[in-house]
Amino acid sequence: MELQGASILIAGGTGGLGSRLARRLVELGANVTVVSRSAAAVSEVTTVTADLRLPSECERAVREAVAAHGRLDGVIHAAGVVAFGGLDETSVDTVEDLFMTNTFLPIFLTKAALEHIAEGGTVMTISGVVAEQPMAGMAAYSASKAALAAFSTAIRRELRRKRITVIDARPGHTETGLADHPIAGTAPSFKEGHDPDRVVARLIEAIVAGETDLPADAF
């Protein structure tokens, strides 16, 4: 995909990966819209404050990106939440929020975005290594991400004829700080994770090259 002049919406564009993706994509000439619950105006990107767990807010975010840049060429799903702890200590509310944010949100937002994304466009999900290697103490998170990876694979097949590229990326633990603000539980001691700038560079390389799958060992 050609990034110069492309209109790209980043869900979770204020997060550790999302904000770095936004910065780099702007440097490469893309028109970027960042969306999150805490998005505040910053120069060079369009910001939309929205809770994307609501389908109507997904539709509004897409409308605002199209209004700002006249088109939509890509969506990057970098919104997500994590929780830690055994299933016995994981509440129903936590399970629901993990699936709402990590699974339903990208499905709702992809559905809204596909009303606008034309031939040659891109959808990227960032499911993570847990979609390949589900982890004890992160059962519901792993399940929400494995479901996202399955969604990504299925729509890749569905959208092939429209020449829309769908990429699922499954990086391992990355030093963005995600593990320091779980919605429940406390992170175990992980060994040093990936450098977020290197992960972002690999994600952008995949978008430019039209790759469709970035397994954990691609990082």
Ligand X SMILES: NC(=O)c1ccc[n+]([C@@H]2O[C@H](COP(=O)([O-])OP(=O)(O)OC[C@H]3O[C@@H](n4cnc5c(N)ncnc54)[C@H](OP(=O)(O)O)[C@@H]3O)[C@@H](O)[C@H]2O)c1
Q: What is the DSSP string of 164-176?
A: -EEEEE----BTT
Among 7, 47, 110, 176, binds ligand X (CB under 6 A): 176
CB of 58 to ligand X, least distance (A): 9
Say how far apart CA 119 and CA 128 lie, in whole Å. 27
Say how far apart CA 23 and CA 37 lie, in whole Å. 19
Say how far apart CA 35 and CA 46 lie, in whole Å. 9
Reference 43, options 52, 34, 54, 53; nearest CA is 34
Task: Say how many residues touch ligand X, by CB under 6 A.
Answer: 29
CB of 146 to ligand X, least distance (A): 12
Say how far apart CA 132 and CA 215 lie, in whole Å. 8
Region from 7-15, 86-94, 152-160, 206-214 binding ligand X, contact rule CB under 6 A: 7-15
Identity of the residue, 3 or 98, whose beta carbon is nearer to ligand X in the bound complex: 98
117 is a contact residue toward ligand X (CB under 6 A): no
Among 24, 26, 51, 211, binds ligand X (CB under 6 A): 51
Would you tell me which residues interact with ligand X (CB under 6 A)? 11-12, 14-18, 35-38, 51-53, 78-82, 101, 126, 128, 171, 173-174, 176-178, 193
